[in-house]
Amino acid sequence: MSALLVAEQLHKTYGTTTALTGADLAVHAGEIVSVMGPSGSGKSTLLHCAAGLTAPDGGLVTYAGQDLFALGDVKRSAVRRREFGFVFQFGQLVPELTALQNVALPLRLDGVARRVAERRAAGLMDRLGLAEKAPARPGELSGGQQQRVAVARALVTGPKVIFADEPTGALDSVTGEQVMDLLTDAARATGAAVVLVTHDARVAAYADRGVVVRDGRSSSRAGVR
Amino acid sequence: MTIATAFLALLEDRPQHGYDLKRAYDQHFGSDRPLHYGQVYTTLAKLLKNGLVTVDGTDGEGGPDRKRYTITEAGVTDVQRWLAAPEKPDQYLQSALYAKVIGALLTGRSAADVLDVQREEHLVAMRELTRRKRAGDLADRLICDHALFHLEADLRWLEHTTTVLDELAGQVRR
């Protein structure tokens, strides 16, 4: 079976700092892949490039057979909005919006009417056990609750791939496990693949397989070939 | 902890038959190694001989399963002594992983490969434990967590050693 998302031989430099020197990553539909590596290894840059957020200086990112960076900005943004979900280390919820409005936001940005978007968001939050947090603003939620809302936001469009960058990095170990349980259970239930960047081996152990990034390159187990 | 000590702790909770002791032991202490009945009755015979338990009743026909065992004062003292004495922390100074790294460096093979292969093996074990943990109850989760934290410590050592391999190679070949 061919991979859903393939990043091949990615190179990326920021000023004088080299982040990627030929990194690879392949993700099949529905699988959970961890990307581990020491800090500064390039693992977050690999995620940003694979997700179409940052253009690599060299190499190729293919999603569902199409070259992601050959698409124009508008089309690539549409792929990101509809096909990808994102969870970051700090929930990055919009503080002025309620949890429900935050979860509905990706749908609203994609042009879905407010009532429809919020109804879908409410249904999802209910299924994820977050219904009672819907009216709260992020400032009224604990770090773990915010991150669970962020997971719901990542899932609301029914993405094919969820990119999670240190999703438990700001949480204690028990809360982190609850977030990982929620994220991986929901991904399995919906068939979404997950790219899980983490420096924490116990978080990486939630994945089906792992890729190690060191000095901007992936281990031979990146699964591209 | 010996089987005898575990039995004493279970009997301090309440008097029990041999069959119930086996079941309680398997649930709380057995993990992947359930007791054989032979071990149950050998252990009880030893505890009886040492005066740490007594038989306080026999039901029905009086076969080995029908005796009810009770802990004695001497048995309670044994439990107290066991719980009061801290376990000696493992020193972890005889590391098979370290030996392999040195072996690779001495023979001119790739120590980085040794560490990579070991890392993957550890991660496979951690994934398996995580699956088991998620399917289990709180007792299972805590038992798996204990193993996961130890494997994580090994992985941190593997990662740390990877970063100083060049320096270590220089010292080994000097």
- Choosing from B29, B49, B84, the residue where a domain stops is B84
pLDDT at A225: 42
pLDDT at A173: 87
Are B37 and B108 within one domain? Answer: no
Asked if the C-beta of A40 comes within 8 angstroms of chain B's C-beta atoms, the answer is no
Q: How confident is the model at residue B118 (pLDDT cuts 50, 70, 90)?
A: very high
Q: DSSP string of chain B?
A: --HHHHHHHHHHH--EEHHHHHHHHIIIIITT-PPPHHHHHHHHHHHHHTTSEEEEEE-TT--GGGEEEEE-HHHHHHHHHHHHSPPPPP---S-HHHHHHHHHHHTT--HHHHHHHHHHHHHHHHHHHHHHHHHS-HHHHHHHHHHHHHHHHHHHHHHHHHHTHHHHHHHHH-
What is the domain extent for residue A54?
5-222
CA distance A42 to chain B (A): 16
Q: Are A91 and A119 in contact (CB under 8 A)?
A: no
| Average pLDDT estimate for B92-99 | 85
Are B61 and B127 within one domain? Answer: no
Q: Are A86 and A124 in contact (CB under 8 A)?
A: no
Total domains present in chain A: 1
CATH number at residue A118: 3.40.50.300
Q: Are A41 and A198 in contact (CB under 8 A)?
A: no
CATH number at residue B39: 1.10.10.10
Taking 50 as the pLDDT cut, the residues of chain A under it are 222, 224-225
B121 chain-A contacts, CB cut-off 8 A = none
Lowest-confidence range among A213-222, B31-40, B79-88, B110-119? A213-222
Task: Determine, for residues B123 and A205 on separate chains, whether the beta-carbon distance falls below 8 Å.
Answer: yes
Q: Which regions of chain A does DSSP assign to beta strands (E)? A: 5-14, 17-27, 32-36, 58-63, 66-67, 84-87, 161-165, 193-197, 209-214, 217-218
Least Cα distance to A181 among A151, A156, A210 occurs for A151
pLDDT at B31: 72
Total domains present in chain B: 2
pLDDT at B30: 80
What is the domain extent for residue B143?
96-173
Q: Quick check: B62 pLDDT over 80?
A: no
Give the closest of A205, A214, A221 to B127, CB-based.
Answer: A205
The ipTM estimated for the assembled molecules is 0.82
Q: Are A34 and A207 in contact (CB under 8 A)?
A: yes
B120 chain-A contacts, CB cut-off 8 A = 210, 221
Chain A / chain B CB contacts < 8 angstroms:
34
pLDDT at B66: 79
